[in-house]
Amino acid sequence: MKKIPLLLLLAPTLLLADEVYLKGAGSISGRITERTATMILVDNGDGVIGVPLSRVERVVEARSPLDDYDQRAARLGPSDTDGWRKLGRWAAQAGLSTQSRKAYEKVVAIAPDDAEAREALGFVLLNGGWVTEEESYRARGFVRQDGEWMTPAEAQATQAAFAADQERREAERRAIDAEIAASEAQARADAAEKRAKEAEEKARQYSYPTYWGGWGYGVNYWPASTYTVYR
């Protein structure tokens, strides 16, 4: 427990920053650069975020890592390779990716072949020269497929697998469509058969003998096939 105050003194920039707490939505850390009647502007290192005051619950101000970066950068000379390299390394550890890049770009401007700065900026050493990652892949014959670098053979195999998968999905879709169509046809056939049976049953009912009151209470057929007109 006694070591905690010492750690706070050694690395205050990793622990402190302006903190804008939002109503029911967490907080935003960085450096407050401006306040207006309706807005608070917070620089988080990668850009400035505008926060409407209506969404702000409270603000806790503290020294920001950006403040330390600016202070350290102001003390460095334009040709201080080691100083800018250390600042780039520190900024990366502090989570200031944009500032780290700026510092390493200063190093490369002074020492184009500095390995640490080049690698931090995403360059790759190829045949004795520094090139971008994309240039290194293309120089070695790689192609970009679905966001990944691979050999032409791998790309061809990936495309073939994709085409096969598409064909399988299409065949499944056609099979499902055929099954649905067959089910609908069967339903229509069943409905037609039901209607035919109902019509047949109705016709049979009309052809059966029916007992009617009156006319002597005998068996009569309806409709009658013949009838007599009495004059």
Q: What is the pLDDT of residues 133-176, one digit of tens each?
A: 999 999 888 998 888 888 888 888 888 888 889 889 999 999 99
Name residue 108's amino acid. V
Q: How far apart are CA 130 and CA 116, in angstroms?
A: 12
The predicted-structure confidence for 3-13, as pLDDT tens digits, reads as follows 333 333 333 33
DSSP of 26-54, one letter per residue?
A: -EEEEEEEEE-SSEEEEE-SS-EEEEEGG
| Whether the predicted model's global pTM rises above the 0.95 cut | no
Helix residue ranges per DSSP H, the chain: 3-10, 65-74, 81-93, 97-110, 115-120, 133-139, 152-207
Q: Flag whether pLDDT at 2 surpasses 60.
A: no
Tell me what the pLDDT averaged over the chain comes to.
Answer: 83
Q: Which two tokens stand for residue 50?
A: 């505008």
pLDDT per residue over 7-31, tens digit each? Answer: 333 333 334 688 899 998 788 888 8
b/e string for 89-100 if b means 16 or more Cβ within 10 A?
Answer: bbbbebbbeebb
Which DSSP state fits 230? -
Element (H, E) at 223: none
Confidence check: pLDDT of 222 > 80: no
Q: Name residue, tokens 């250390």.
A: 86
Residue-wise pLDDT for 173-199, tens only, equals 999 999 999 999 999 999 999 998 888
Residue pair 62/19 in contact (Cβ under 8 Å)? The answer is yes
17, burial (CB in 10 Å: exposed 0-12, middle 13-18, buried 19+)? buried
